[in-house]
Amino acid sequence: MQAAKAMVVTGASSGIGEACALRLDQEGFRVFAGVRKESDGRTLQERASDRLAPLHLDVADPAAIDQAVQAVAAAVGDAGLAGLVNNAGITAPGPLEYLPTAALRSVLDVNVVGHVAVTQAFLPLLHAGRGRIVFMSSLAGRVASPLSGAYAASKFALEALADVWRMELESSGLSISVVEPGTVATPIWGKSMAASDEVLNRVPPEGRSRYEHISAGMRAWAERSTRGGVPMGVVTSAVLHALTAQRPRTRYAVGRGSRLFLLLRFAPDRARDRLLLRLFA
């Protein structure tokens, strides 16, 4: 009997990463689900088969990455990895005028540098297994919105890195895909607005009055997204296609709002600004 192909999913404690890990497990893959807390790993195991194994992995910690690679290498041996889903990510919403630079560094460290470090570390196993790499981006990586400067910057960077890696690894036969969720029912909306409120609470009165209307619009958008976002299965299906299809796509824009946002890329800058500000008003 042939052993199940192995996949690594980062940021599998909740949200899209958790859904991807469980979906891949259901599809019969051996899944190493990256989590930072043992309790999150136990929760995942309770919902999965014995093919899923929690993997302690903090993408911003080089030592943790090295240990994770060693653990996976010992488990898969010469078969290597069939796939890596770079999903881990954080947000730091708020007006750039008042966003702490430490918060910006954290977002870039996790959402950009962390994905590079993890991919570099697992590439030998991916080469061995002729695997595929999926980067979890966002429509914010194609069109930036107010109060999302740090997050959008990280996703724009991730899109560029995926393009570069796709060209550099083409001769190795490794497939690189980017998944760009739009409005998807995920806990990230509530977390983002809570973080945004925390930043705005530290903003001086004159700054608060400058950004209150945008913040209120973003909050309304987040609430609509929570209620009306497409099911998580739409995203996991895109990830599964990228990892298994004979001809995987380079990009998968999924979720409500994806067509609108992609069209906005081609609008004149100031027209796009006005449309986005109206959208979030």
Report residue 244's pLDDT band, with 50, 70 and 90 as the boundaries. Answer: very high
**Torsions phi, psi of 211, nearest 5?**
-115, 0
Q: What is the pLDDT of residues 80-120, one digit of tens each?
A: 999 999 999 998 888 899 898 999 999 999 999 999 999 99
3-state secondary structure of 88: coil
Is beta strand 132-136 parallel, antiparallel or unpaired with respect to 83-86? parallel
Identity of the residue numbered 236: T
Both tokens of 273, joined, read 């600004």
pLDDT tops 70 at residue 49: yes
pLDDT tops 80 at residue 129: yes
Catalytic residue annotation: 151
Q: What is the pLDDT of residues 259-281, one digit of tens each?
A: 777 787 888 989 988 888 887 66
Strand partners, 81: none
The CATH code of the domain at 6-279 is 3.40.50.720
Domain ranges (residues) in the chain: 6-279
Both tokens of 124, joined, read 């030998």
Q: How far apart are CA 180 and CA 76, in angstroms?
A: 29
Rg (alpha carbons) of the chain, rounded to whole number: 19
Both tokens of 1, joined, read 């009997």
Section 147-171 average pLDDT: 96
Q: Residue 133: left if φ>0, alpha if ψ -120 to 50, beta else—which one?
A: beta
Q: How far apart are CA 98 and CA 93, in angstroms?
A: 10
Q: How many residues in total does the chain contain?
A: 281
Q: How far apart are CA 181 and CA 140, in angstroms?
A: 9
Measured between its terminal Cα atoms, the distance across the chain in Å is 58
Both tokens of 173, joined, read 């036969």
Identity of the residue numbered 150: A
pLDDT tops 80 at residue 241: yes
Q: Decide: pTM greater than 0.85.
A: yes
